[in-house]
Structure 1
Amino acid sequence: MTRPRILGLTGSIGMGKSTVAAMFVEHGVPVFDADADVRRMQGPGGKLLPAIEARFPGSTGPEGVKRDVLGEQVFGDPEALADLEAIVHPAVGQNRAAFLLEHANADMVLFDIPLLFEKGGHEAVDTVIVVSAPPEAQRKRVLARPGMTPEKFAHILELQVPDAEKRARADHVIDTGTTLAETELAVKSVIEQLRQAD
């Protein structure tokens, strides 16, 4: 049985990944958003809440995971983080497998995975697409986010594979430091190239 070509979309914080993922959707490519999936499972009535509450008491409520409370329990504690990932990652994996089954007849699907290289997910995709923008554009976007500080931004960057390395390891790079129209043309071009390659 043939399966869809699996595209892995990644990029450092503030590079415009969500915008580019939305463009793939507009061009008929089904997208699995790992972050959105986690938010849903950790939201009100989410299926991960009982396991998270059992391991991290007081970290959930009627509105779902209390991000600040859970963050305090996990931040700087590798063992606690590993426990949280052991709850979250298998559930995301199951949902991703279900998504693949649901779209088995598509010619390609896109997995939007922020930490594609950091967590070794690049080995499970056929084509890696990296979104990238100049550092000053990235910094401006990230620092405009509510609650973001230069210190937080610096810490996030430390945890991520550097942009230059991501670009070097990518099959395709989409520049988001340009206009939206130019970025969309780049997305369209990548889709066309991949369709011709099949």
Structure 2
Amino acid sequence: MKTKVLGLTGGIGSGKTTIAHVFEELGVPVYYADDEAKKILYLPEVLPELKENFGDAVFVDGRPDRAKIAAVVFADKEKLQALNNIIHPRVAQHFNNWLQAHNNYKFVIKEAAILFESGSYKQCDDIILVTAPTEDRVQRVMQRDGTTREQVLQRIANQWTEEQKTRLSKYIITNINIDTARSEAVKLFKFLNNM
């Protein structure tokens, strides 16, 4: 039996990581693509590519500065694409290795903020989308990251719209109230386990 790969995504501040933790607590292996992407940024073999594409301005003491890189890529779609071209193939390879190590499970979850934008949704059997009203998302991210409203809205503008994501998602979890969203995730877990 082939292990099913369920993509789990949602716009910034939607609560997708919280929902991923619910599945993890229920015993489902979860691959956090965004965490892996952050690690890849600091690999010695990646540094020359970053320098070539972004110059020395995004480095502090010889190490990439994520805040500086974010400021560049969220203001320039071509630079965002350049960063994605450096990071995403490596994340995809790492995920394939991880999946091999977890191929004895009925299903696993691949959590990624830009599952659709990166094209990696095509490698998933089904998609779970976590949604929340824009204003809730903006407030959550401002509190979590200490960023401005404008910075959050700029990030939202760089992601696919909820409508675009909804069209390609099989399961939707609405996160207005975290307790309700958690119980939706538990219900979905039971449904998937009984398939």
TM-score for both structures, normalised by structure 1? 0.85
Q: How far off is 1:120 after superposition?
A: 2.5
Q: How far off is 1:77 after superposition?
A: 4.1
- Partners in 1 of 2:135 and 2:178 — Cα distance? 15
1:191 partnered with 2:194: no
Sort the Cα spacing of 1:179 and 1:56 in 2 relative to 1 into closer, same or farther, 3 A.
closer
- Partners in 1 of 2:133 and 2:83 — Cα distance? 33
Identity in percent: 30
> Equivalent residue for 2:165?
166
Unmatched tracts of structure 1, length 5 or more: none
- Partners in 2 of 1:68 and 1:136 — Cα distance? 23
How many residue pairs match? The answer is: 194
- Partners in 2 of 1:87 and 1:120 — Cα distance? 14
1:36 partnered with 2:35: yes
Q: How far off is 1:76 after superposition?
A: 4.1
Unmatched tracts of structure 2, length 5 or more: none
Secondary structure of the corresponding residue to residue 111 of structure 1: strand
Sort the Cα spacing of 1:73 and 1:129 in 2 relative to 1 into closer, same or farther, 3 A.
closer
**Over the residues paired in the alignment, what is the CA RMSD in angstroms?**
2.3
Secondary structure of the corresponding residue to residue 8 of structure 2: strand
1:130 partnered with 2:141: no
8 Å CA contact 1:33, 1:113 repeated in 2: yes
TM-score for both structures, normalised by structure 2? 0.86
1:89 partnered with 2:88: yes
